[in-house]
Amino acid sequence: MKTLLVDDSATMRRIERNILESLKIMDIEEAVDGADAFEKISSGNYDLVLLDWNMPKMDGFSFLKTVRAMDKFKSIKIIMVTSESEKTRILDAIKAGANHYIVKPFTAEILMAKLRELKMEV
Amino acid sequence: MDPYFPQAFVSSTQNTFETMLKIKLQPGKPQQKAGSFPSYDISGIIGLSGDAIGSVSLSFPKSVALNAVAALLGTEVKTITAEVVDAVGELTNIVAGSAKVLLVPLRLSISLPSVVVGVNHQLAASQGVETVVVPFVSDLGHLALEISLKA
């Protein structure tokens, strides 16, 4: 399973990587914003994207809408991982095609549970 | 300042540290900030706007910041590096973001975090904006939250 971590915070990408590697999910790449992420998924075969919302250049919501408008990316599972916790934001993301939504702060167990629900565990 | 405002940030700070670092923070008595005392070695600062304006900062002595980042990342950290600076900024971001949802009537927007690094630096209170300082004790050591808010 190939995973893309999208967050402008190196700390958050490191935390997510630590959790995934503890689950033996080892094929992981990183992007620092939505534009970087779009460039990477256009040239790679990703199964899973962990996606922050507030990022420079292209935010996570814009990336989500762009990707979900394209058939070739429809099989990619996208989990928003963000500090945006208002109900309207969560609903907007789900309507735009996010498969799951995790609000920061989060535990490893929460991320693992979402991956299990999406049958994304190794 | 409505006492509910600093309490929202205290709760979000405790929740953030307990959830992501597995560290319990015990808050001390909130105090009105007078002048520029106390001093810290590294501070994450986030601006607040909306129906209230101000800022929130999360400040640490160096050793406590290193302990916190080690707990967050699961790796030993011996000195303040770019990684530590990013981690302090991200912790402050998460604290502010999760307090925002407790303060919905204020319709707050939060800025990107800034991080100040400097031995024994002080954060000056803004003129005309009330600032409350909340000290915390924990197994990591002492840290402090400063909330400046004008509604």
Measure the CA angle with vertex B13, ends B15 and B149; round to 5°: 140
pLDDT at B81: 95
Q: How far apart are CA A91 and CA A81, in angstroms?
A: 14
- What residue numbers bound the domain in which B142 lies? 4-28+38-150
Kindly state the percentage of chain A with pLDDT values over 90. Answer: 88
The stretch B135-148 carries a mean pLDDT of 96
pLDDT at A119: 84
Nearest to B101 among A12, A15, A86 (CB): A86
> Shortest Cα distance from A70 to chain B (angstroms)?
31
Q: Are B61 and B41 in contact (CB under 8 A)?
A: yes
Q: How far apart are CA A22 and CA B76, in angstroms?
A: 18
Residue B58 covered by a domain: yes
> Shortest Cα distance from B34 to chain A (angstroms)?
32
Helical ranges in chain A per DSSP H: 10-22, 34-43, 60-68, 87-96, 108-117
Contacts of A80 in chain B (CB under 8 A): none
pLDDT at B135: 96
In the structure, what pLDDT confidence band is assigned to residue A121 with cuts at 50, 70 and 90?
low
Please state, rounded to an integer, the average pLDDT across all residues of chain B.
93
Residue B33 covered by a domain: no
pLDDT digits (tens, 9 = 90+) for A12-69: 999 999 999 999 999 999 999 999 999 999 998 999 999 999 998 999 999 999 999 9
CATH code for position B117: 3.40.1550.10
In the structure, what pLDDT confidence band is assigned to residue B101 with cuts at 50, 70 and 90?
confident
User: Which of B20, B44, B52 lies closest to B96 in space, CA to CA?
Assistant: B44
Q: How far apart are CA B19 and CA A91, in angstroms?
A: 24
Answer whether B73 sits within 8 Å of A104, measured CB to CB. Answer: no
* Size of chain B, expressed as the number of residues it contains: 151
B99 SS3 class: helix
More confident residue, B124 or A46: A46
Q: Which two tokens stand for residue A101?
A: 């939504």
User: Which of B90, B70, B46 lies closest to B141 in space, CA to CA?
Assistant: B70
In the structure, what pLDDT confidence band is assigned to residue B88 with cuts at 50, 70 and 90?
very high
Q: A22, exposed or middle or buried, with CB in 10 Å at 0-12, 13-18, 19+?
A: exposed
Measure the CA angle with vertex A96, ends A54 and B97; round to 5°: 30
Q: Does A106 touch chain B (CB under 8 A)?
A: yes
Task: Cite the beta strand spans of chain B per DSSP E.
Answer: 26-27, 31-32, 39-49, 53-60, 109-110, 114-122, 131-138, 141-150
At A78, which amino acid appears?
I
> Shortest Cα distance from B98 to chain A (angstroms)?
6
In terms of DSSP bridges, do strands A48-51 and A77-82 run parallel, antiparallel, or are they unpaired?
A: parallel
Answer whether A11 sits within 8 Å of B20, measured CB to CB. Answer: no
Q: Is the dihedral of CA B31, B35, B37, B39 positive or negative?
A: positive
In the structure, what pLDDT confidence band is assigned to residue B3 with cuts at 50, 70 and 90?
confident
Q: Are B108 and B49 in contact (CB under 8 A)?
A: yes
Residue B100 covered by a domain: yes
ipTM of the complex, rounded to two decimals:
0.86
Nearest to A10 among B86, B93, B94 (CB): B86
Contacts of A10 in chain B (CB under 8 A): 82-83, 86
Residue B79 covered by a domain: yes
In the structure, what pLDDT confidence band is assigned to residue B47 with cuts at 50, 70 and 90?
very high
More confident residue, A6 or B102: A6
Q: Does A116 touch chain B (CB under 8 A)?
A: no
Query: At residue A39, what are phi and psi to the nearest 5 degrees?
Result: -60, -40
Which domains does chain A show, CATH number per domain? Answer: 2-117 (3.40.50.2300)
pLDDT at B36: 65
Cα A102–chain centre separation? 10
pLDDT at A122: 56
| Number of separate domains in chain B | 1
Residue B136 covered by a domain: yes
Answer whether A11 sits within 8 Å of B19, measured CB to CB. Answer: no
pLDDT at B17: 97
> Shortest Cα distance from A101 to chain B (angstroms)?
15
Q: Which residue of A has its CA nearest to B98?
A: A83
pLDDT at B37: 74
